[in-house]
Amino acid sequence: MRESSKAALGGIIAALSVSMMLITYISPVLVYTAPVFAGMFLLVIVEEIGYHWAFGTFAAVSLLSIFMIADKEAAVFYTMLFGYYPILREFICGKLKSKILLFLLKLIIFNAALFSALAICNYVFHIDYSEFSDGGKILVVFYIAMMNVILFLYDMLIAKFTLLYKKRLQKKIRKMFK
């Protein structure tokens, strides 16, 4: 693929991802779902161009999200959790063969990123998580457990989307960006 085609594809994916992040204005529920789907667009870049371009596109979308999106929590969750995870997942799944080691590595990476995202939301953007203190420690444990369930659902969604992309869309994308 020519450099101009790579740049065009990267720009289109970045625009789609930022557009997905912009829909967080519609409903507070989209704070978690918009970053999930915005991150999945990066799989196209991983498959067609490679990891370096995918991380570059991720960085661009992260910066644009932090500066343009009013909902800073969604921007932080994209940047710290859901944006880079599809790229990293493809990379580590290709390197590690042990399913147990892969599972543990994903769990460690995700939970470190989750706690970092929550800290950034709380201390940098002053997002109030007082509802956690109202519910006690059990609510915090429940939230962390649910976010880990979301990780595994996201992981399965990425795997299914990758298969769908390879079967249905890859030939069309390659034809458009020769």
Q: Is the dihedral of CA 50, 56, 59, 60 positive or negative?
A: negative
| pLDDT winner (highest mean) among 2-16, 18-32, 123-137 | 2-16
Which of 94, 74, 64 is closest to 33 using CA atoms? 74
User: Over the stretch 71-90, which tens digit does the pLDDT of each residue have?
Assistant: 999 999 999 999 999 999 98
* Domain residue spans of the chain: 3-176
pLDDT-derived band of residue 94, with 50, 70 and 90 as boundaries?
confident
As a whole number, the mean pLDDT across the chain is: 91
Q: Which fold has domain 3-176?
A: Arp2/3 complex 21 kDa subunit ARPC3 (1.10.1760)
